[in-house]
Structure formats: C-alpha cells, structure tokens
Amino acid sequence: MQQFPGTTLAFQTIWEKDSIAVVHYGVSGKTPGGQAMGHEGLLFYEFDSAGLVSSEHRYLDSLTPIGQLGALGKISVRPPPGLKQSMTVLEAENSKEEASNQVIVAKTLNGLNAKNEAAFLSNFADNAEIDELICPQTFADKQGAESWFEMWSGAAEARTEAQSMLAAKEFVLVEAKMGGALKGPLGPLAAPSSATDFVVHRAAIFQIRDGKIVRLAFFMNGKELAQSVGQWPLASMKSR
C-alpha cells in the first residue's frame, strides 16, 4: 500500500457461519507512474475459540496485476474492479434452501468432472454468468456458459475436488483443488507440446436462485498454473 499511494482495499461481501468467514475483496488503484492496477480475491478465514484467526487461505490471480503493468506483453487483461461503497454481511441460516444449494453445487462439479456438458449446463439459469478471473471478460448467458465449458474441456483433462463448502443465503462458497493435465492453450498459457500434469488451488462463489445458478465466479492463480506446467516465466515475458 505504501508503494502504490491512493490504492483502496475494500471488503465487498462477507459470508459467516460458526467459526468460518469468507471475504470477497477488491483492490483498485494506480502505480506511482499512473498505471491502473487492481484485482479481486477470495479469503477463507477460520477462527479459534478465543476469536483469533487460526487459518487464512487466499485465492487471487497474480497474473492480473502483472498483466496490467504490461509485463505479460500484448495480451488482453481485465481492468481493475469497481468497488462498492459499503460492505454486505451475510450469515448462514442452516436452512433447507442452503442445503439444497450445496447439492446443486455438488451436481454441477460432478457434471464438470465427467465432462458432461448437458449435466453441467442443466444447473444454470438462461441468463447465468460465469466469471473466470484469469480471463479478461465474463461468459454471459447459456451460450457463454457453453463457451466456458468448451474452453476448459479443450484445454485440460482435469478434476475439481471440493475441499470445503459454506452455504449462506443464496450463495455457496467453495475451496477446491484442481488436478489433471493441460493439453491446450488457456488464457496466457500456451498449449504444451504434450499433455502436462498440474495441480492448482481454486475457489468459487456460486449464486443460486430458485434452484438455478445465476452467477459463478472462479478464482485461480494463473501464475500457480504456469509454474505447475513449467511455463513460468511465461513466453510472453521472456520475449520482452
């Protein structure tokens, strides 16, 4: 924060249940030279009986600010996020709806892991939006969800295994590990000469209304993926 005067860190939404809190935050500002920088992230906190933080897991894409600085070459990169003026706090109610939403999320991940596009898409509303934070744009509506599915199916043979899941109101927050083999291009990563194994950490915000997913945001560190498949530094950085 000292290196980038005027930068704002804002907690956008906090979801709470028992000793767990999940925070969606945004950072927006400029470098001393005036270059706009910013990113979104998801934080998973667990507290002990004394109210002190016993663990914190952070999920963000470090390639986003690196790309905003121009260090990744001429690639598209998302702009800094807009920040809300106030923070929303949502507490879990242990309701039937929340339990049902967790089942929907589990079915969605099963459809993804099985590469069953119909099963995956059946859980989404027609106007749903998927936001893959390593990509410069969101994937809107059913056609966008199809494009997102095809992007991942074409790029990787992988499984997403949920490590934790918290349901609060109409949201489900997920921590996961994704493991498999990269076989095609993905974002700033090039297609490997042969399928290359990887393991990355991943997190997600599912928003569900009337039994259908209306928004899904995925958080993953593109640098971690690049390192896992032996592409760090990226070729676009080496060529500069």
Q: What strand order describes the sheet that includes 20-30?
A: 53-60, 36-47, 20-30, 8-17, 88-91
For residue 28, pLDDT beyond 80: yes
Delimiting residues of CATH 3.10.450.50 domain(s) in the chain:
93-238
Bridge partners (DSSP) listed for residue 53: 47
Alpha helices in the chain (DSSP H): 63-68, 96-113, 117-121, 141-155, 222-228, 235-238
Query: pLDDT tens-digit profile of 166-179?
Result: 999 999 999 999 99
Specify the pTM: 0.95
Q: Which of 68-77, 81-90, 110-119, 122-131 has the lowest mean pLDDT?
A: 68-77
Query: pLDDT tens-digit profile of 204-240?
Result: 999 999 999 999 999 999 999 999 999 999 887 766 5
Q: Average pLDDT of 161-188?
A: 96
Q: Which CATH class is domain 93-238?
A: alpha beta
Query: pLDDT tens-digit profile of 112-160?
Result: 999 999 999 999 999 999 999 999 999 999 999 999 999 999 999 999 9
Query: pLDDT tens-digit profile of 93-105?
Result: 999 999 999 999 9
Average pLDDT, the chain: 94
The one-letter code for the residue type at 170 is E
For residue 48, pLDDT beyond 90: yes
Q: What number of other Cβ atoms are within 10 A of residue 32's Cβ?
A: 9
Cα separation of 89 and 65, whole Å? 27
Residue 206, Cα to own-chain centre: how many angstroms? Answer: 10
Cα separation of 208 and 124, whole Å? 9
pLDDT of 73 reads 83
pLDDT of 238 reads 65
